[in-house]
Each structure stands twice: as C-alpha cells, then as structure tokens.
C-alpha cells in the first residue's frame, strides 16, 4: 500500500472539507496535506477536489477515491479488530456455565481446550438456570430442557440425554413391580427432587405411578437426588450414562421413548463469532463425553420374573 498515506489524507479531506481540519486530525502541517493531495492527483492524472471559499469539494474522481478508501479503511479496521481479538481472547478468560447434571461434559472439554490454548483461563459456573449472557454472566452456557427464546441468544443442540428409572441392588429386596397402563410401575421407596429438570413426560410418569407415601427423600438439587439413588435410599430417575457406570444399579423398567432430555449450547449473538467462543464450541461438540452421555452401555434391566430371585440373593 505504497500510497495509503496520500489516499488516507485525501479521504479525510473529503470528509472534513478543509485543509486545516484535516491537518489537525492527522497531526501534520497544512502544507503537508496539500502536498500529499497534489502528489496523488499527479499520479492519477486528474483533480480530486475543487477549491472554493469554504473549503474543498470532491470532484467525480474524488468521490470515487473516497468510496474506495472508505471500503479499504473499514476492511482494515475489521482485520485489526479480528487480529487483536483472537490474540487477546485465546490468552484471556472464558466463562462457561453448565447444569450440575452434565458438568462432566464441560470438564472434558475444558481439559482439551486448556491443552490447545494454555494461556486461557476457564471460569466454570455450575447453574441449573440459563445465565444472563447479555450481562456478561457467561460466554458459553449449556441449558437443559426447553431451549431459551431470548432474541439475542444463539441456541444450538448439544445432545439428547437418555434417562431411566434405576434402583440400587442394595435396596432390591424392597422393590416390587405393579401392572400399569405403560408396562409396570415402581412400588418401592422413591427419591425425587424439589424441582424437576427432566421435563413433563417424566413428571407425568411420577404423578401417575408414584404415591406420595413412597417418597422417602426430596432433594433440593439433582445431584443430591442422584447420590441418594446410588446410595440405595430408593429408586429414582438417573441419566443413563451415570447409572451404567455404577455396577450395583439396575434398571427398574424399560425406558420410555420420551424419557430423553435435550441439552443446548447457548451463546450471545455479539460473542458467538469470537475466537474464544468458536474454539470452545468446536471442542465441546467433538468431545467423546457427548457420545458417552447419549449411548447406553449394557443396561441391566430387571424383569418381573427375576425379582424374586434377586431378592433371595440379597437376603442370602
């Protein structure tokens, strides 16, 4: 860009209209402005401005030059911002919010992200609510259930997490199955959470099949309810990926097709295309933990005819 200084000077003169204002803006003498414009006119072989008592007015050639310079200036500004943004953001911090139910997916992605960008710092916030991205509460959020409908949020599907009704073998002697319209229901002690994050189908199943007297614990958190089921306090709903990692848990009844919960990646439209957000999204979408959370692994289901045998084994 051999003539960019002269072009930029002419561009400013066309915008400001006077040599004095142009000289003051770029910090040079008035004579320097005139010399640069005249040099450019000499190279182009035509007049860029008409001089009059109030200043300078662009000619047709001058207007064309101003349009070209304006586009070039904007493109260069965007390139500069992009270069600085990439450098700063991949060496700065990123705030990630996630429900406690699926935090293992984030931790796996964070490990890979840190390996790729060691100068970054990840701030993790465990929250079952979608943070206010417009207030800077998070750069990337994972939400569960219904997708957020904020007009400034970019919402993309992450995974569909399968759920099941599980009971610890430690409590199997207290389990009995009863016929119901959807196969069989659970008649043993039951663990629930104070607020449902699993959606209406599971809420409806609990209302139709679990009597309030069966509920031995209501946890204020999903994690607390999960731990209670794993500890043998009662049957309850667990993510399949979690239940299949615990060898003393058994699936009470076959999972229903609608016992799945969608998870979403949520970003703000102003940050969605930034380097740090795009880099993190790429990593979390390709995380092996995603497939682990959706693919059941050798689930052990309790058939009604095997309950008596399992109970006898437990008593022995």
The residues pairing with 190 across neighbouring beta strands, listed in sequence order, are 215, 235
Domain range enclosing 194: 160-260+296-315
Judge if 106 and 32 occupy the same domain: no
Judge if 186 and 304 occupy the same domain: yes
Judge if 11 and 119 occupy the same domain: no
75: domain CATH number is 1.10.10.10
Judge if 139 and 287 occupy the same domain: yes
Written as six digits, the tokens of 34 are 């005139």
Average pLDDT over residues 44-64: 89
Contact yes or no for 175/301 (Cβ under 8 A): no
Task: Report residue 2's pLDDT band, with 50, 70 and 90 as the boundaries.
Answer: low
Instruction: Please classify residue 10 by burial: count the beta carbons closer than 10 Å to its beta carbon, then call 0-12 exposed, 13-18 middle and 19+ buried.
Output: buried
Total domains in the chain come to 3
Average pLDDT over residues 17-36: 89
pLDDT for 84 equals 53
Judge if 187 and 233 occupy the same domain: yes
98: domain CATH number is 3.40.190.10
Contact yes or no for 61/46 (Cβ under 8 A): yes
Distance CA 125, CA 66 (A): 49
Q: Dihedral of the CA atoms 34, 40, 45, 48 (nearest 10)?
A: -60
Judge if 165 and 224 occupy the same domain: yes
Judge if 171 and 241 occupy the same domain: yes
Q: pLDDT digit string (tens) for 183-235?
A: 345 567 899 887 666 778 888 888 888 888 889 999 888 888 889 999 888 89
Judge if 183 and 243 occupy the same domain: yes
pLDDT for 289 equals 60
Q: What angle do CA 118, 285, 203 make, to 5 degrees?
A: 125
Judge if 110 and 227 occupy the same domain: no
Judge if 236 and 165 occupy the same domain: yes
Judge if 229 and 307 occupy the same domain: yes
Average pLDDT over residues 53-58: 87
> Is 90 exceeded by the pLDDT of residue 257?
no
pLDDT for 81 equals 60
What's 234's DSSP letter? -
Domain-terminating residue out of 41, 74, 89: 89
Judge if 194 and 152 occupy the same domain: no
Written as six digits, the tokens of 81 are 């911002």
């Amino acid at each position: 860009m051999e003539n960019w200084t002269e072009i930029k000077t002419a561009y400013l003169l066309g915008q400001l209209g006077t040599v004095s204002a142009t000289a003051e803006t770029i910090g040079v003498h008035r004579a320097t402005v005139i010399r640069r414009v005249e040099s450019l006119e000499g190279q182009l072989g035509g007049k860029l401005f008409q001089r009059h008592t109030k200043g300078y007015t662009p000619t047709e050639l001058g207007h064309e030059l101003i349009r070209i310079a304006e586009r070039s200036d904007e493109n260069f500004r965007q390139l500069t911002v992009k270069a600085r943004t990439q450098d700063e953001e991949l060496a700065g911090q990123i705030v990630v919010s996630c429900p406690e139910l699926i935090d293992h997916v984030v931790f796996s992605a964070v490990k890979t992200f840190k390996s790729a960008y060691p100068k970054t710092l990840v701030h993790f916030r465990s929250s079952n609510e979608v943070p206010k991205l417009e207030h800077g509460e998070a750069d990337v959020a994972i939400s569960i259930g219904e997708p957020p409908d904020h007009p400034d949020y970019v919402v993309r599907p992450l995974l569909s997490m399968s759920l099941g009704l599980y009971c610890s073998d430690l409590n199997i002697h207290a389990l009995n199955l009863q016929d119901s319209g959807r196969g069989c229901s659970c008649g043993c002690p039951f663990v629930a959470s104070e607020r449902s994050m699993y959606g209406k189908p599971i809420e409806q199943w609990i209302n139709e099949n679990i009597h309030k007297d069966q509920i031995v614990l209501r946890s204020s958190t999903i994690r607390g309810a999960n731990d209670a089921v794993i500890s043998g306090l009662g049957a309850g709903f667990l993510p399949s990926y979690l239940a299949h990692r615990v060898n003393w848990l058994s699936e009470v009844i076959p999972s229903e097709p609608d016992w799945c919960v969608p998870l979403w990646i949520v970003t703000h439209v102003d940050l969605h295309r930034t380097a740090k957000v795009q880099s993190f999204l790429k990593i979390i979408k390709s995380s092996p933990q995603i497939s682990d959370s959706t693919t059941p692994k050798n689930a052990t289901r309790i058939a009604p005819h095997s309950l008596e045998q399992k109970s006898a084994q437990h008593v022995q």
